[in-house]
Each structure stands twice: as C-alpha cells, then as structure tokens.
Amino acid sequence: MPEKKRPNVPRILPPHLFFLTAALMLGIGYWETGGFGVRYWPLGLTIFGIWMAAREKNRFVAAGTSFYPGEDAHKLITYGAYRFTRNPMYLGMVLGLIGLWPLTGGYWPVVPFVLFISIITIRFILPEERRLEELFGDEYRTYKSKVRRWL
C-alpha cells in the first residue's frame, strides 16, 4: 500500500537534520582531533534530549493532532514541556547535539551545530509560528507572550 502523501510536509524533516548534524559533528571532530574525546558523561544529555523530543511528539499523537511541520494542527498543546518552551521537540534535538559535542574533542563541530539551529529556526520554527497564529489567533498569541521560543 503506498504511503499517504503529505503535501505541505518538507521532504527533509528535523529528525533527518538532527542525525545529519550529529554525523557531521562527529566526523568533523574526528577529522580535527584524530579521534574521539574521553568526555562521555555528556552523552546523558544526548539521551535526555532524544527522550524529551520523542515524549513531546507523543503528546501531539495523544491529542490527535499533527506533529509534522507544514501540516495544520487541530489543537494547541500548552501542557507538559510546552509550559516552559514553545519548541520542546527542537530543544530536545539541540540538547542531544550539545551532549555529543564534548565527545568530538574539537572546536569545529560548532559549525554544523550553529547551522542546525539556524535552519531549524528559519525553515521550521518561524513558519510554524506564523501558521499557528493564523490557526489559533489570540489563543496562540497569549501563549507566545507567556512561553519563550527556546527556554
């Protein structure tokens, strides 16, 4: 059975960018230092970030609304981690990358990390915020005034 086409959903989604960025960070770090660092303790932050992104995605699923960028949401989620950040799934990915960085032992892995944040903000967050404002109006504007984009 063919997969249902989602017309407004980009072909490359944030999780794809997350894994690509992680691979670039590790590859660039290895190229820069000739190996990986011995700082493994931040991997806990990576695990937490991935867990948080997945958990908050499941809030959309449980509420019966779309979590795909570009698709219309049917409900505004403002509970769970959404009380503290408007973008906990993206924040989870950023935390995951921050946890990987010390493993690289290098400085140059910051380049794909900064690119990831820039692409996520410009390509996904800003259009999503405009769309949510169109869909939910004052309800979203009130939420937006009370909760920060990142933290």
Q: Look at 102 and 52; give whichever has higher pLDDT.
A: 52
- Which pLDDT tens digit goes with each residue over 42-101? 899 999 999 999 999 999 999 999 888 888 888 999 999 999 999 999 999 999 999 999
Token readout for 15 is 């999780």
State the pTM of this model.
0.89
Residue whose entry in the numeric block shows the structure tokens 């380049």: 111
What was the pLDDT predicted at 5?
Answer: 55
Q: Rounded distance, CA 144 to CA 142, Å?
A: 5
Q: Rounded distance, CA 115 to CA 48, Å?
A: 22
Please enumerate in sequence order all residues whose Cβ is within 8 A of that of 121, keeping only pairs 6 or more positions apart, or say none: none
